[in-house]
Structures are given as structure tokens and as C-alpha cells.
Structure 1
């Protein structure tokens, strides 16, 4: 379905008009706005981003070869999306752009969406196909409530789920198979204070 007659097309001004702290995205002509995520979402993003940046970007003795951004604004005209974490291979994009660059137009090689109740459907149904069309090679979906990680690789006609992990599993997964990732460290402790119920 197209735009309703007489309805003003959404634009970047609609994103700028959102309340402070809200994240706005435009996918297929629709504006999606979401509030700041909950603590479990934030912890997953922070820990995973820190691990990957430490091992693949900042440590001279690590595997290297990448640079990462948390919540980068990506413009794939006419779409505007904000994945939770994104990474670019240095062999393809040698360095991040100027620090004052407000958004990027080069698709990442890998990205991760941390699912929230308010964004789960948009992430899966609207954004994942867009990421595939733009040439992203690897995508991870993490659900901090269900404590799961879904790993997707690029297929010819769409994404192919190559793995599903849950709980406290230690994994090695593309494109970061050179480093072990303990999923148990991603999850926020429960009410009892234990990280692994």
C-alpha cells in the first residue's frame, strides 16, 4: 500500500521532532519511534560491543580487522535505521569517517539487533529484509528476555539462520569465530542477584 492521499510523506524532520531520548527510524515510508530500551537491552549492547571492540578493533594482539559503532544512524535512502551495534571490515572500509559525521551510508558487514517488546516486530519483519537488500553479510538477533542469540548469514534470496543459542552457552560464531563468547555474561542478573538462573 502506498502513502494515503493527502498524507505528508515522513522525513528526517519527523525524527528530529521526537521527544528527547526517543529513537526514530524510517522504513518503507513509515516512521517507527521507540523509547530508550530497558536495562537488559542496554547491558547486552554494552557487553557485546565492548567484547568485540576489545578483541577485533583495539587490541594489537587480537584478531583485529574491524571497527564498530553502537547505535549508528544508517541512511539507506529513503530508509533510516539505527541498529544496536554494527561493524565494518577494515579491508572494505579502512577507517571510521570523520568524528563529526552525523550518519553513515555504507552498509556494515555485520550488525546486531537487541530485541525489545516495542521493536521486535520491526527488527524482524521490516529491518532484516532491508539489511539484506543493502548487502549486510551477517546479522545477529539477541533477545535479552528469552536469553537467546540467533545467527544469520546472507543467502541468495534472504537471510539463512545458521544457529540458535540460549542460556549460558560458550560459542564461536561467524564472523567472529576467532574469539569465544560466553553468552551467560550478556544476561542481566535476576531478582536474586544471580546471573544464571
Structure 2
């Protein structure tokens, strides 16, 4: 790695910007979460297909779809960028407020976030990141479970994620916060084979 990290130190975006480009991590409440080696090809296929469908559905609209790696900084209100201690890289996400976009990525909560679960990241995505996305105002959070072939959806209601809705990865699922955007799971069927997951 070429540099030392202190186990109990609280890190911020200021620190994050000094780290080498090949040191991939996320910051959640100042704690470093190392990114695993590149995900399996099936994970990338699923994320890529969701991104492609969203991007095509949003063509000509003000909302923009993104796919990892893009830094999403989630500061507290009025917090300076360098003091932000939450920097994540969702698998797929959409931002409708172009004022949140800058040359370094995104500052503020996306409207829609999708995380494709893998064994090495499932706990972080379902616990830490769900809590962070709720706290910072992500309107809709999808957890795609390719192995189990289910989709868990959290929607922000009165500042909190309510009880999740759970669906099979079948037919189509509309994105409630993005009218006109629907994910067609039939298009993902080739990427959901048991031997690839």
C-alpha cells in the first residue's frame, strides 16, 4: 500500500484525497471500509444492465444515472467538503439535482441507489450503508440479491426508511422516485445463472 493507516483514527475527505488512486475504499462515519478486489463478472453484468436501463429511460431528462466507481460525498448540513466523513461508491445511482454534481463526483444524496449484493459486501450494504443512505436522505434504496433472486426496496418516508418491500427478480419493477424508469428483470436473466454467482 505504501502508506500507513491508523486503526482507530477518524478519517475525513481531506485524508481520502491524499491516498493513492489504487487504494480503493469507502468512508462511513470516518471509518475505512476497504473495497474488495474486482467483483465477479456476474455482479458487473447485473449492475451494468441496471445502469443501462436507467440511463436509457432518463435520456432527455434532467436526472443522470451513474455506475461505480464514482465518489458520493454525504456531508452533514453546512459541513465543509474536507470535513465530510462519509464517502461511498454505490454500484448504480441516479441524481436529479445537477447542483450536486461537481468535478470530483457527487456532493449530497442521490435520489435512487442500487447496491448489488455479493458475499463480501452484503453486510455493509444491508446495515451500514442502509443506515447512511437513510440518514442522508436517499429517497429510494434497492438491494439486489442475485443469488437469491430477490429485490429489497427501502423508500424514505418522513425521513426514515419504512418496512422494506421484497420482490422476486421477475418481470418489471418501477422506480417509484423516477417516473418512467422501470427495470426489466427479464433482460438480466442471462446474468443470474447459479454457476456465475
Q: Which category describes the TM-score, using the shorter chain as reference length?
A: 0.7 to 0.9
- 1:36 CA displacement: 1.3
User: SS where residue 186 of structure 1 aligns?
Assistant: helix
State the distance in 2 between where 1:151 and 1:159 align. 9
Equivalence for 1:69? 66
In structure 1, list runs of 5 or more residues that go unmatched.
Answer: none
The 1:73/1:179 distance shift into structure 2, 3 A limit, reads closer
8 Å contact kept, 2:100–2:107: no
The 1:14/1:104 distance shift into structure 2, 3 A limit, reads closer
In structure 2, list runs of 5 or more residues that go unmatched.
Answer: 1-5, 75-83
Equivalence for 1:93? 98
The structure, 1 or 2, with the larger RCO (C-alpha pairs under 8 Å, 6+ apart) is 2
* TM-score normalised to structure 1 length: 0.76
- Which protein is richer in helix relative to its size? 2
Where do residues 1-197 of structure 1 align in structure 2 (5 Å cutoff)?
7-10=8-11, 12-13=15-16, 16-17=19-20, 20=22, 23-33=24-34, 34-56=36-58, 58=59, 60=60, 64-71=61-68, 72-76=70-74, 77-89=84-96, 92-93=97-98, 96-97=101-102, 101-156=103-158, 158-187=160-189, 188=191, 190=193
- 1:115 CA displacement: 1.0
- 1:177 CA displacement: 4.8
8 Å contact kept, 2:57–2:180: no
The 1:23/1:116 distance shift into structure 2, 3 A limit, reads farther
State the distance in 2 between where 1:158 and 1:181 align. 24
The RMSD of aligned alpha carbons is 2.9
